[in-house]
Amino acid sequence: MIVSASEQVRAEAPSFTEVVRGRHSVRSYDKSVRLSHEEIKEILAEAALAPSSSNMQPWRFLVIETEELKAKLQPIANNQSQVSEAAAVIVVLGDREGYLKANEIYEETMKQGFMPEDIAKSFAERSIALYGSLPQERLDRIVYIDGGLVSQQLMLVARAHGYDTVPMGGYDEALLKEAFNISDRYLPVMLIALGKAAKPGRPTTRLPIEDLAFFNEMPAK
Amino acid sequence: MIVSASEQVRAEAPSFTEVVRGRHSVRSYDKSVRLSHEEIKEILAEAALAPSSSNMQPWRFLVIETEELKAKLQPIANNQSQVSEAAAVIVVLGDREGYLKANEIYEETMKQGFMPEDIAKSFAERSIALYGSLPQERLDRIVYIDGGLVSQQLMLVARAHGYDTVPMGGYDEALLKEAFNISDRYLPVMLIALGKAAKPGRPTTRLPIEDLAFFNEMPAK
């Protein structure tokens, strides 16, 4: 089959709508399809363009992709078969000490010419003082929300790359941390299976928008 | 200027990459541009295609768009000028009682033919029992993470519609809840200003992917 250049571009550049409407949670994967480290890093780097509180980017990704480690993870994740079938399972983590990278982050912002040096320095200092003084529960909440932001972008980016995903909250957190040497510095946000779909996801429904969106005042009850 | 039909389609259908790479936090808005309720509902409904824990969709959106209410919100949100300049500020809320809609959600799934009646009923019952028995802190965490998922999709969808956004975590939660009659049933996740950019967002940098992604094992420290 001859494919024209424009069709090639088309295939490489799905529309936003196609990606958002085409994303469904997929639980059955083609076990023969693996992703290279380069491609996984591309997907994660694009996911990490998501915004975060003060741009602290507290997300970290533990990519589990060997057969041995996926087999180790499966019983920890309610024995869900996608854990071993998917090309990789990404453990999305929130780094509770992520804000300590503020100097590094703002130094780069300054180097790129996006911010004068004095402002960058003052932003970095203020961020470290602010996040360092927050009660742990408040800091953890920020890390979980930022973890949600990056996870959604990750699932969409994967779909744009021609892959599918399923987010999983059903796992034993203590066993996960023990099995993969994840210290208390990191909060597991979710697991995301990533791979080539073998079967399409089961379609789901959504609540009517009238149940979700309120204009200017909350509903009576 | 004559615009061909394909150019029109093109303008209406930005590529996924354009949207993801074109999204930046915008803090300066064209005050003359307002969005209709219909368009805001379209954006929110597309955002709500995001996945959530057991598809419980615990997100709710309080859309603040009158001049009076934006003026009321601004001092509560650190006096950030985008609050009054933007067309609307969306208070993303997590409904701690969202799982009580499980019957409604699974009934619709059954009606659409996506699930047999007995399975739908059993899923709904199990969801209500499961979420109802979780410790409050665990339930809240799920609601925050789901709130992050929908917020990221919201910001991208808005961009695909030709608008810009900025997520805001800097606000007084107690004052916000009091000013807008938000009961303890709801957890504020973040504020998102939505509107037409007057000035582009300040570019930001991201940490190198090597700092964020780990393959198969956590880094030594």
Q: What is the pLDDT of residue A182?
A: 98
Q: For residue A153, is it within any domain?
A: yes
Residue A3, pLDDT above cutoff 90: no
Degrees to nearest 5, angle at CA B83 with A51 and B34:
100
HSE-CB for A165 with a 13 A CA cutoff: 28
pLDDT at A220: 85
Distance between B39 CA and the closest CA of chain A, angstroms: 12
> With an 8 Å Cβ cutoff, are B213 and A41 in contact?
yes
What is the per-residue pLDDT for A11? 53
The pLDDT, as a whole number, for residue A12 is 65
Q: Which residues of B touch A53 (CB under 8 A)?
A: 169
SS (H, E, C) B165-177: EEEECCCCHHHHH
**Each residue's pLDDT tens digit, A99-148:** 999 999 999 999 999 999 999 999 999 999 999 999 999 999 999 999 99
Query: In this structure, what are the phi and psi dihedrals at residue A205, rounded to the nearest 5 degrees?
Result: -115, 170
Whether the complex's predicted ipTM surpasses the cut of 0.90? yes
pLDDT above 50 (res A196): yes
pLDDT of B157-187, one tens digit each? Answer: 999 999 999 999 999 999 999 999 999 999 9
How far are the Cα atoms of A22, A198, B24 from residue A158, in angstroms, in the given order? Answer: 11, 15, 20
For residue B220, the model assigns a pLDDT of 85
3-state secondary structure of A89: strand
In a domain, B36, yes or no: yes
Q: Specify whether the CB–CB gap between A20 and B42 falls below 8 A.
A: no
Residue of B nearest to A173 (CA): B138
Rounded to whole angstroms, the Cα distance separating B49 from B132 reads 24
For B31-86, strand residue ranges (E) read 59-64
CATH at B189: 3.40.109.10
Residue B11 lies in a domain: no
Q: Give the global pTM.
A: 0.95
User: What digits encode the pLDDT tens for the residues A60-110?
Assistant: 999 999 999 999 999 999 999 999 999 999 999 999 999 999 999 999 999
For residue A190, list chain B residues with Cβ-Cβ distance below 8 A: 145
Work out how many domains chain A is built from and give that number. Answer: 1
- pLDDT surpasses 80 at A217: yes
* Farthest CA pair distance, chain A: 62
Q: Does B78 touch chain A (CB under 8 A)?
A: no
Q: Residue A158: how many CB atoms within 10 A of its CB? A: 26
Q: Could you tell me the CA-to-CA distances from B152 to A47, A90, A186, A189, B184 in Å, in that order?
A: 11, 18, 22, 15, 24
Task: Please answer whether residues B147 and B92 qualify as being in contact, where contact means their C-beta atoms are separated by less than 8 angstroms.
Answer: yes
Structural domain span for residue A162 = 35-96+142-198
In this structure, is residue A107 part of a structural domain?
Answer: no
The per-residue pLDDT for A166 is 98
* B75 located within any domain: yes
Report yes or no on B66 lying in a domain. Answer: yes
Please indicate, yes or no, if residue A50 is contained in any of the structural domains. yes
pLDDT at A156: 98
Closest chain A residue to B203, measured at CA = A114
In a domain, A46, yes or no: yes
**Which of these, B76, B215, B140, lies nearest to A89 by C-alpha position?**
B215
Binning pLDDT at 50, 70 and 90, where does residue B11 land? low
Q: pLDDT band for position A202 (50/70/90)?
A: confident
Q: What are phi and psi of B215, to 5 degrees?
A: -100, 115
The minimum CA-CA distance between B147 and chain A, rounded to whole Å, is 7
Average pLDDT, chain A: 94
Question: Does B108 lie at the interface with A, CB-CB under 8 angstroms?
Answer: yes
pLDDT of A2 higher than 80 = no
Residue B7: the pLDDT is 47
